[in-house]
Amino acid sequence: MAFLTKLTKASSLARAGLSRCMSHVPENTVYGGPKPQTPDQRVTLNLLKQKYRKGEPITVVTAYDYPSAVHLDTAGIDICLVGDSASMVVHGHDTTLPISLEEMLVHCRAVARGAKRPLLLGDLPFGTYEANTGQAVDTAVRVLKEGAMDAIKLEGGSPSRITAAKAIVEAGIAVMGHVGLTPQAISVLGGFRPQGKNVCSAVKVVETAMALQEAGCFSVVLECVPAPVAAAATAALQIPTIGIGAGPFCSGQVLVYHDLLGMLQHPHHAKVTPKFCKQYTRVGDVINKALLEYKEEVTNGSFPGPSHTPYKMNAEDLNGFFKELDKLGLDKAASAVTAAAEKMNTAQKPDPQKSQSD
């Protein structure tokens, strides 16, 4: 009887322990679902909705590779956008048009390996979704399945783009829209020109944003429009607006990684630096300085010195190596071994005069 009592207590404790172990499982999900969101866990659409309802600004930065993704992850950025701007800042093109879907997928996969917390958003590149809704859905599916993204972004607000956005949403994929200056449309816009500067254009920006919301988009980017136009669109919508060159009245902001870090001037920016780009630092200057110092030290022979030559042979092996080379008739190589060993020993010995002065 005492044994059964102990067994019953043990079973109760086990159940309690199991309950504690599974306490992270939401009660209202069928298969358990994701863990509750905490500041250290993945950003989801639900978390973004919560921020939006609370009036908390949403942060978005582009990333194109593993290192940049890790930096965004460490900084706690909300959304990591794998933008088609990679065409310019990574591949060196004048516009975003040349980059292919295959190239974008490579960038997406690299970013997904580095960014564990942000929502991962992949751009649909030019020429991969305009033909029909079937092409748009197929491309979006590839960005999620092969690129490991959480959602996609597409540009424009023409009827065909609205239809494409709606079809992608109905396929079960979250979509962010993009209005105002849409870089993929520079052929019809006449270049990288701000939009919404007259009444007709301003109304079109607001109406297009509303149409994208109606199509099911969870958010809309407003690029290069006057602040009052962005404020109007933000007030008219019930989803977050993400501004870039659109003033401070949006629900969040996005900048290109290379721009905000001052890493370099890509082909377009070398000619016209966008007025909305704030450089929070000048990483490019730091990189250039480091490369020049490296070149100088390699040239004058100061690098690598003893502190960066860590791998050594003991005296016995060194002597044996010398003899084997000598047996092989490699006199020059054997002499090089002796000279290198003597030079490293001399370099590692402390300077007596310096020791006395210390």
> What was the pLDDT predicted at 33?
47
Cα–Cα distance for residue pair 47/223, rounded to 1 Å = 24
> What was the pLDDT predicted at 263?
84
Main-chain phi, psi angles of 221, to 5 degrees = -85, 135
Give me the amino acid identity at 130.
Answer: E
223 has catalytic annotation: yes
Main-chain phi, psi angles of 76, to 5 degrees = 80, 30
Cα–Cα distance for residue pair 89/183, rounded to 1 Å = 14
Residue 351 CB coordination number (10 Å)? 9
Cα–Cα distance for residue pair 358/354, rounded to 1 Å = 6
Cα–Cα distance for residue pair 237/259, rounded to 1 Å = 29
> What was the pLDDT predicted at 344?
87
Q: Which of these, 225, 171, 186, 218, lies nearest to 203 by C-alpha position? A: 225
Cis before 304 (ω within 30): yes
- Please determine, for residue 349, whether its predicted confidence score (pLDDT) is greater than 80: no
Classified as helix, coil or strand, 75 is: helix
pTM above 0.75, yes or no: yes
Evaluate the CA torsion angle 123, 126, 128, 133 in order and state its sign. Answer: positive
> What was the pLDDT predicted at 19?
41
Convert the pLDDT of each residue in 16-56 to its tens digit.
444 434 344 444 454 544 444 445 689 999 999 999 999 99
Q: Which of these, 89, 71, 65, lies nearest to 277 by C-alpha position? A: 89
Between 343 and 75, residue with greater pLDDT: 75
Cα–Cα distance for residue pair 18/342, rounded to 1 Å = 65
Range of lowest pLDDT (90-94, 266-270, 282-286): 266-270
Cα–Cα distance for residue pair 85/67, rounded to 1 Å = 17
Convert the pLDDT of each residue in 295-310 to its tens digit.
999 999 999 999 999 9
Cis before 228 (ω within 30): no
Cα–Cα distance for residue pair 175/203, rounded to 1 Å = 23
Structure tokens at 214: 């109606």
Asked whether 275 and 246 are in contact (CB, 8 A), the reply is: no
User: Which of 27, 103, 146, 223 is the catalytic position?
Assistant: 223
Cα–Cα distance for residue pair 110/79, rounded to 1 Å = 16
Asked whether 131 and 164 are in contact (CB, 8 A), the reply is: no
Structure tokens at 327: 């047996």
Report residue 266's pLDDT band, with 50, 70 and 90 as the boundaries.
low
Main-chain phi, psi angles of 219, to 5 degrees = -165, 160
Structure tokens at 290: 């480091």
Convert the pLDDT of each residue in 229-261 to its tens digit.
999 999 999 999 999 999 999 999 999 999 899
